[in-house]
Amino acid sequence: MRLYFTVLLTLFNIAAFSQGLPGYIVTLRGDTLRGIVRESSQQSSISLFIPHQQERKFTAAEVRGYGLLHNALVQSYAVKRASGQLTYAFVLPEQEGIISVYSFADEFGLLLKPTKNDTLYELTASNWHLMLHRYLGQCQAMDFTSADFLSKPYTDFRAQQYIAQYNKCVEPSWRPTANHRSVWWPGITAYTSRFSASRDSENSSNQLQQPVGSGWQVGLDWTTLRASGLQTSLGVSYTYLRLPTSEYAGQRFFTTPLLAAGINLSQRIAKPNGLGAVVGGGLRLGYSEGVVAMVYQAKVGGLLPFGRRQEVELAGTFQRFMDVNCIGLQAAYTLFKK
């Protein structure tokens, strides 16, 4: 299992080769440049591909921000890291008010924006008590020096609760709002698979003699895609299996259905507007004839786009459910939102 997730994390650190998404960049002068936008894994730089031109790379300090498709601008801000280092990064608003809360554009980490301040401050377990005491001092009803507050461990949710309570205290009419800038492109994916199936055997010599089963699968996923090439899929599937029985059974095969639901993560590697490759895997919770167990999945394949919103994926797949191993081919069709 540890190796399985290590391989997945390694795959998702190759965003420099992602195909990107249609979008735009706003320069410091206010000019809008449109093309294919690629995100970096560090959320501190982006690349813009314009047909018949050389690809250009921008750091977060060189632009006001970027947007995907027709979505609102993902802004660039100066960020004071917990280490004291001042950097620029692309950020998303989580909660806007007298004291605002942002996250990095990869939707991890929490950043505090004090009133009338253009610098964001990173909140961590080691500094959040001090930061809230320093910038949330105008509410007399909140004591950020109390033993109760200082004993509480850090979580993003708890920090946001305190900041929301402070905004409400200073301005009673305040309501939590956030003009959230989406960095995901949603779509619907339908797929079907055909595969051969085998079962583990305690006797290695019997494993070679054991007949090979078969099966097919259909599924439907809610798919979201980032300009870094990271793709997530949440959905359900139905699998029909024809499996070899035990050597002591009176028949060679038996059939069983398998229902599963869960999440898959994939990384796309492609040139903008061209053919591409996809590598990924996932975990799903499977149910078959009263038995509930995890389904482990992996795939490697190719992508064929049809216009901007449609694509077909052909992939080789591996799935494991309890002692059943399935190897086969999958065809998928995805329709992205306009």
CA distances from 264 to 102, 125, 204, 228, 231 (A): 27, 30, 32, 16, 8
The full set of domains in the chain, from first to last, is: 21-170 (no CATH), 185-336 (2.40.160.20)
Query: What is the value of pTM for the model shown?
Result: 0.77
Residue with tokens 């601008």: 73
Maximum Cα–Cα distance for the chain, whole Å? Answer: 79
Q: Is 16's pLDDT higher than 50?
A: no
CA distances from 248 to 178, 244, 288 (A): 63, 11, 22
pLDDT digits (tens, 9 = 90+) for 165-195: 999 999 998 887 766 667 888 999 999 999 8
pLDDT digits (tens, 9 = 90+) for 287-326: 988 888 899 999 999 998 888 889 999 999 999 988 888 8
pLDDT digits (tens, 9 = 90+) for 48-90: 888 778 888 899 999 999 988 878 889 999 999 988 899 999 9
Q: Is 207's pLDDT higher than 60?
A: no
pLDDT digits (tens, 9 = 90+) for 88-110: 999 988 888 889 999 888 778 89
Nearest to 302 by CA among 291, 323, 316: 316
